[in-house]
Amino acid sequence: MKKQKSITDILLPLGVFALIAVLWFVITGTEVVPGFLLPSPTKVAIAFVKDIPTIMGHTGYTIAESVIGMGISIVIAFFAAVIMDKFACIKKAFYPLLVVTQTIPAIAIAPILVLWFGFGIAPKVILIVIVCFFPVAVGFLDGFASVDADEIKLLCSMGANNIQIFRHLKLPRSLPHFFAGFKVSSSYCIVSAVISEWLGGTNGLGVYLNRVRSSYDYDKMFAVIILVSVLSLMVMAVISVLEKKLMPYRDK
């Protein structure tokens, strides 16, 4: 049951992107909008190429924060989900708190985290964890709960203990749910890092964005905005590859 992507599936969205690019060229070329407000695509490209060494340095920093933050999120989410799955009362007690963490506006809490933890990497990582932890934890929880009671009965009849039931049923069953949450989280994580850097830091794309905004270098700003999107897309692509690798049976 392999899903074949048809040519139109690829061409249609590409066409939309191309249309936006053309519009951008036309609007800037005809100077309907003044050049300093909306730089032309060529200007943005030139700004990007000219400043590549600086931008790459900041990019590395932002990626490092995101990877560390995401990694910590996954580890915490996994153990929290295992504990909540095992003890229903803990789930009842803590689940509302998890939901509440999702309602906190990241942009408001970031300066406070800077105040508490300084201008280094710590407040960025903490913000990423706050934002990214929840979808992953919910993914694991849903996955653990999706195990069929008959499958548990089958493994019990084989004499399986709890660890074996977890290893052979709950963990593999949770993978698709985990990846669904992981993808949502990953799309947030780079943006969270950038926001956090913007609101207080010494390194990273957020700091760079803030700096070029202050000096009215909107061409550079646009370049980095596009870069942040591309980075998020790349992260999602990496996750898709990982997903295929870990769940080869999904394509069969």
Partner 1 sequence: MNYILTAEGISKTFDDKTIFSGLDIHLPEGKTVALLGPSGIGKTTLMNILSGVMLPDRGKVTLCGEDITGKPGHISYMQQKDLLLPYYTVLHNVALPLIIKGVKKKEAMERARQYFDFFGLQGYENKYPSELSGGMRQRAALLRTYIQSDKVVLLDEPFGALDAVTRAKMQKWYLEISKELGLSTVIITHDTDEALILADKVYVMGEGLRVIDIENKPDDFELTEEFIRLKKEIVSLL
98 scored as a contact of partner 1 (CB under 8 A): no
Nearest distance in Å: CB 168, partner 1: 7
3-state secondary structure of 213: helix
Query: HSE on the CB side for 130, CA within 13 Å?
Result: 22
31's torsion region: left (phi>0), alpha (psi -120 to 50) or beta?
left
249 scored as a contact of partner 1 (CB under 8 A): yes
- Report the residue from 154, 233, 234, 237 that binds partner 1 according to the rule CB under 8 A: 154
Nearest distance in Å: CB 252, partner 1: 5
245 scored as a contact of partner 1 (CB under 8 A): no
Nearest distance in Å: CB 165, partner 1: 9
Cβ atoms of 155 and 169 within 8 Å: the answer is yes
Please, which residues have CB within 8 angstroms of residue 108's CB and are 6 or more apart in sequence? Answer: none
- Report the residue from 148, 229, 238, 240 that binds partner 1 according to the rule CB under 8 A: 148
Q: Which two tokens stand for residue 10?
A: 């690829």
Please count the residues of this chain forming the interface with partner 1, following the rule CB under 8 A.
22
Cβ atoms of 127 and 196 within 8 Å: the answer is yes
102 scored as a contact of partner 1 (CB under 8 A): no
Nearest distance in Å: CB 181, partner 1: 18
Q: Which two tokens stand for residue 188?
A: 């947030």
Cβ atoms of 77 and 143 within 8 Å: the answer is no
41 scored as a contact of partner 1 (CB under 8 A): no
- Indicate the residue among 76 and 155 with the shorter CB distance to partner 1: 155
- Report the residue from 34, 53, 96, 159 that binds partner 1 according to the rule CB under 8 A: 159
150 scored as a contact of partner 1 (CB under 8 A): yes
CA quadruple 233, 237, 242, 244: dihedral sign: positive
164 scored as a contact of partner 1 (CB under 8 A): yes
Q: Of 36-44, 167-175, 199-207, 219-227, which segment contacts partner 1 by CB under 8 A?
A: 167-175
Cβ atoms of 113 and 127 within 8 Å: the answer is yes
**Residue (of 183, 186, 220, 184) closest to 205 by Cα position:** 220
Residues that bind partner 1 (CB under 8 A): 1, 148, 150-151, 153-160, 164, 168-169, 172-173, 175, 247-249, 252
